[in-house]
């Protein structure tokens, strides 16, 4: 089983950083292991969308635990439905619906 490792150690600018490779791996249903600062956007996105394993780099105990969890044998046992789940959540239709709702809310005032 393949796994994308995303490692980021600087907290400056981390709240805006999501590497393109993360989206490519989502599209082909490959889980990720994201280790970075607490404010790292890629780590937060990965955690919220359950696309793999994450750890805050400031927490050595979390990093050690996630490295144990990311054991490739255990990952193969789990069924990953990343691309199916996220394609519904972030589809163009869903984006249009969200934008339309925001516009309607704005003009309803």
87 belongs to a structural domain: no
Looking at residue 102, its pLDDT comes to: 93
CB 82 within 8 A of CB 2: no
64 belongs to a structural domain: yes
Domain range holding 29? 4-80
Q: Name the phi and psi angles at 9, rounded to 5.
A: -115, -10
Give how many domains the chain has, as a whole number.
1
The tens digit of pLDDT for each residue in 83-103 reads 878 887 778 888 889 899 999
The tens digit of pLDDT for each residue in 33-76 reads 899 998 999 999 999 998 888 999 999 998 888 888 777 656 66
16 belongs to a structural domain: yes
56 belongs to a structural domain: yes
90 belongs to a structural domain: no
Tokens of residue 107, six digits: 């003009």
104 belongs to a structural domain: no
User: What's the whole-model pTM score?
Assistant: 0.72
11 belongs to a structural domain: yes
């Amino acid at each position: 089983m393949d796994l994308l490792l995303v490692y980021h150690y600087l907290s400056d600018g981390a709240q805006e950083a999501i590497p393109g490779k993360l989206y490519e791996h989502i599209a082909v249903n490959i889980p990720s292991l994201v280790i970075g600062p607490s404010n790292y956007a890629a780590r937060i996105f990965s955690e919220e969308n359950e696309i793999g394993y994450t750890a805050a780099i400031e927490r050595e105990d979390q990093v050690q635990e996630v490295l144990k969890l990311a054991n490739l044998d255990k990952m193969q046992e789990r069924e990953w439905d990343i691309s199916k789940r996220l394609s519904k959540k972030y589809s163009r239709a869903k984006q249009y619906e969200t934008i339309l709702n925001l516009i309607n809310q704005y003009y309803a005032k």
